[in-house]
Structure 1
Amino acid sequence: MAGQTEAILNQILESIDRGDLNPGDPIKEQALIATYGVSRTPLREAILRLETIGLVVRQPRKGATLFKPTLEEFLAILEVHAKLEGQAAGLAARRHGREDIIKLEAVVLACERHAEKHGDRNPDGYYQFNLRFHEAVALASRNPFLLDMIKTNARKLIAYYRARYKYSGAIAASARDHRTLFELIAAGKSDEAENFMAKHVQFDEITAMDLLAARD
Structure 2
Amino acid sequence: MAGQTETLIGAILADIDAGRLAPGQEIDEAALASHHGVSRTPIREAYIQLEATGLIRRLPRKGAVLFKPTLEEFLAIQEVHAQLEGQAAGLAARRISPDLRAELERITKDCADHASSKGDADPDGYYQLNLRFHETVALGAANPFLVEMIKTNARKLMAYYRARYRYPGAIAQSALEHREIAELILSHDRNGAEAAMRAHVQFDQVTVMDLLAALG
The interval holding the TM-score normalised by the smaller chain is: over 0.9
* Deviation of the 1:116 alpha carbon: 2.1
Q: Distance in 1 between matches of 2:40 and 2:101?
A: 43
Q: Distance in 2 between matches of 1:38 and 1:63?
A: 16
**RMSD over aligned Cα, in angstroms?**
1.2
Q: Distance in 1 between matches of 2:91 and 2:81?
A: 15
| 1:43-192 correspondence runs (5 A) | 43-192=43-192
Q: Distance in 1 between matches of 2:39 and 2:61?
A: 24
Report the residue type matching 1:124 in the other structure. Answer: D
| 1:20-39 correspondence runs (5 A) | 20-39=20-39
- The match for 1:213 is 213
Distance 1:4 1:60, change over 3 A: closer
Q: Which ranges of 4 or more aligned residues in structure 1 deviate by more than 3 Å? A: 35-39
* Deviation of the 1:149 alpha carbon: 0.7
TM-score (norm 1): 0.96
TM-score (norm 2): 0.96
Q: Distance in 2 between matches of 1:187 and 1:127?
A: 26
Report the residue type matching 1:98 in the other structure. Answer: P
Q: Distance in 2 between matches of 1:66 and 1:87?
A: 27
- The match for 2:19 is 19
How many equivalent residue pairs? 216
Distance 1:25 1:202, change over 3 A: same
Distance 1:38 1:102, change over 3 A: farther
Distance 1:72 1:34, change over 3 A: same
Q: Distance in 1 between matches of 2:109 and 2:11?
A: 28
- Runs (5+) with no aligned partner, structure 2: none
* Deviation of the 1:64 alpha carbon: 1.2
Report the residue type matching 2:148 in the other structure. Answer: D
Deviations 1:149-207 (A, max 9, x none): 11111000001000100000101111111111111101100000000000000000000
Report the residue type matching 2:155 in the other structure. Answer: R
* Deviation of the 1:97 alpha carbon: 1.3
Name the stretch that deviates more: 46-55 or 71-80.
Answer: 46-55
Report the residue type matching 1:31 in the other structure. Answer: A
Distance 1:171 1:70, change over 3 A: same
2:47, 2:58 within 8 Å by CA — same for their partners in 1?
Answer: no
Distance 1:15 1:78, change over 3 A: same
* Deviation of the 1:14 alpha carbon: 1.3
Name the stretch that deviates more: 53-62 or 178-187.
Answer: 53-62
Q: Distance in 2 between matches of 1:7 and 1:110?
A: 32
Q: Distance in 2 between matches of 1:10 and 1:49?
A: 12
Report the residue type matching 2:72 in the other structure. Answer: E
Report the residue type matching 2:132 in the other structure. Answer: R
Q: Distance in 1 between matches of 2:178 and 2:154?
A: 17
Q: Distance in 1 between matches of 2:46 and 2:145?
A: 20
- Runs (5+) with no aligned partner, structure 1: none
